Amino acid sequence: MPTPMQPDAVSAFPIMLDLVGQDVLVVGGGEAAAAKCRLLAGSGARIRAVDPAPEEALRDLAAAGDIVLAVRRFVPGDLDGVRLCYVALDDEAAASVPVAAARARGVLVNAVDRPGLCDFATPAIVRRGPITIAIATGGAAPALARNLRARIETAVPAGFGALATFCGSWRDRVAAALADRARRRLFWDAALESPAAQAVLDGDAAGGERLMEADLARAAGGLAQGPRGRASLVGAGPGDVGHLTLAAVRAIQTADVILYDKLVGPGVLELARRDAARIDVGKRCGRHSMNQAAINALILRYARAGAHVVRLKGGDPLVFGRGGEEIAALREAGFAVEVIPGVTAALAAAAGLAIPLTHRGLSRSLHFVTAHDRDGGLPEQDWAGLVGLGGTLVVYMGARTLAALTSRLLAAGMAAATPAVAVEHASLPQERRLHGTLADIAARVGAEGGGGPTLVMIGAVVALADVAGDGLRDAA
């Protein structure tokens, strides 16, 4: 005999109602009633509302033609032909009247914020085209349901709606080409992880159609679908995992192989699948565990094996990240490549200090330069030109050559008192800030810097930095 379920194991049974063309009644005239009408708007239902004194929000919905509004008191006849009923009345005794009438007619009813008068609960909903994701807590913790909805909103990109529609448009063609159910299941499992699906997620519906047609032709011909690798150049941001873009998170979570730099912050790699290969290519501060040609070859090796390769770079892949060389190598070899931008270190460092990199009357231009060339020395720049342009100067990889760089700027005419700040480990808990001027910032970094990745900002706007509360992070 089966063991009966314990009471704490019982939960609401979820269903999805098809309300297209069905009548739904909302009793009430306040914001709660309007909110339910807006929630129902995407269901295809015919929405009717009734209240003797409806507020403006409900009247606006009626004026727009979204609902039919009866300005009067509820009567039991309002429930004739109704599939679903919401009651949004402040007074419990008043709410119990339409609830009782609905139950007498067998109409499912929900009284807002009154669980004892509800036949069903309305979950928190995430919509992606034809995809509907519902989260419910049985009324125990509505705030938690809303929190989970926010998490799912970020985890499921909007493109999944387009992907669902795309897959739906191919169902009949796949069924006609692959009569065997097991073969169809295998095909669809592969299709959802294929370049065709990725193209649709990226907004390239035409490309998805071409790739899907080729995949189906191979499957129908009994040919194994050969592996087709691809690569993503992904900006990992300045270090803090919270600065990752949603697109970066998606790429990391779907990668088969991740090639990462030392500048990738802690916690970022934890987003990867457990079975994903993680390879440290260790480029940092002029010390290379692998040169660029070897990195390019490694990306191509895994792409040729059919993997989704993520080249994970600190900051943005196209800001002093040599991403252009990797793009060129992949294109030359015939592989698809996507570039996902990241928050570059300058933006994170400036945000941490509330420094406006451009500011009316102080800085009308912004210049990013590197203080580190291929051989580890200071690259040649038009120093006089940079000084003449004014604006804000942001120096990447500047710790080792900062003395030479500031000397060049001083010689080119930049004022010695120009404010400057060096930020080490921007956005991470160990972030360290050294405030000074063009004349002394190099000496401060040399004497007090910790040797970590350091970015230097120079210009009048640096004087606007919010140093209040810097605490241990401010070494001044």
Looking at 75, 97, 122, the residue that finishes a domain is 122
Q: Are residues 187 and 170 in the same domain?
A: yes
Q: Is residue 367 one of the residues assigned to a domain?
A: yes
Q: Are residues 234 and 332 in the same domain?
A: yes
Q: What is the pLDDT of residue 417?
A: 97
Sign (positive or negative) of CA dihedral 292, 298, 303, 304: positive
pLDDT in tens, 340-374: 999 999 999 999 999 999 999 999 999 999 988 87
Q: Is residue 43 predicted with pLDDT exceeding 50?
A: yes
Q: Is residue 259 predicted with pLDDT exceeding 80?
A: yes
Q: CB of 332 within 8 A of CB of 297?
A: no
Q: Is residue 132 one of the residues assigned to a domain?
A: no
CATH number of the structural domain spanning residue 371: 3.30.950.10
Q: Are residues 358 and 325 in the same domain?
A: no
When pLDDT is averaged across residues 276-281 and rounded to a whole number, the result is 92
Q: Is residue 2 predicted with pLDDT exceeding 50?
A: no
Give the residue numbers annotated as catalytic, written as ranges: 261, 283
Q: Is residue 145 one of the residues assigned to a domain?
A: no
Q: Is residue 163 predicted with pLDDT exceeding 50?
A: yes
Looking at 343, 363, 383, the residue that finishes a domain is 343
d(CA 312, CA 300): 15
When pLDDT is averaged across residues 79-107 and rounded to a whole number, the result is 95
Counted domains in the chain: 4
Q: Are residues 352 and 327 in the same domain?
A: no
Range of the domain at 277: 230-343
Q: Is residue 144 one of the residues assigned to a domain?
A: no
Q: Please tell me the least confidently modeled range out of 77-81, 98-102, 122-126.
A: 122-126
**Unique residue bearing structure tokens 């940092």:** 284
pLDDT in tens, 50-90: 999 999 999 999 999 999 999 999 999 999 999 999 999 99
Q: Are residues 214 and 235 in the same domain?
A: no
Locate 367 and state its tokens. Answer: 């210049």
Residue 10: pLDDT band (50, 70, 90) is low
Q: What is the pLDDT of residue 63?
A: 95
Q: Are residues 440 and 381 in the same domain?
A: yes
Looking at 76, 100, 122, the residue that finishes a domain is 122
Q: Are residues 97 and 177 in the same domain?
A: no
pTM: 0.65
Q: Are residues 313 and 250 in the same domain?
A: yes
Q: What is the pLDDT of residue 283?
A: 55
Share of the chain above pLDDT 90, in %: 59
Q: Is residue 129 one of the residues assigned to a domain?
A: no
Q: Are residues 428 and 311 in the same domain?
A: no
Q: Is residue 207 predicted with pLDDT exceeding 60?
A: yes
pLDDT in tens, 209-250: 999 999 899 888 876 555 568 899 999 999 889 899 988 998
Q: Are residues 275 and 357 in the same domain?
A: no
Q: What is the pLDDT of residue 372?
A: 83
Q: Are residues 337 and 427 in the same domain?
A: no
Q: CB of 60 within 8 A of CB of 35?
A: no
d(CA 186, CA 163): 18
Average confidence score pLDDT of the chain? 88
CATH number of the structural domain spanning residue 211: 1.10.8
Q: Are residues 213 and 248 in the same domain?
A: no
Share of the chain above pLDDT 70, in %: 93
Q: What is the pLDDT of residue 5?
A: 40
Q: What is the pLDDT of residue 225?
A: 54
Locate 343 and state its tokens. Answer: 């928050």
CATH number of the structural domain spanning residue 247: 3.40.1010.10
Q: What is the pLDDT of residue 475?
A: 47
Q: CB of 211 within 8 A of CB of 195?
A: yes
Q: Is residue 301 one of the residues assigned to a domain?
A: yes
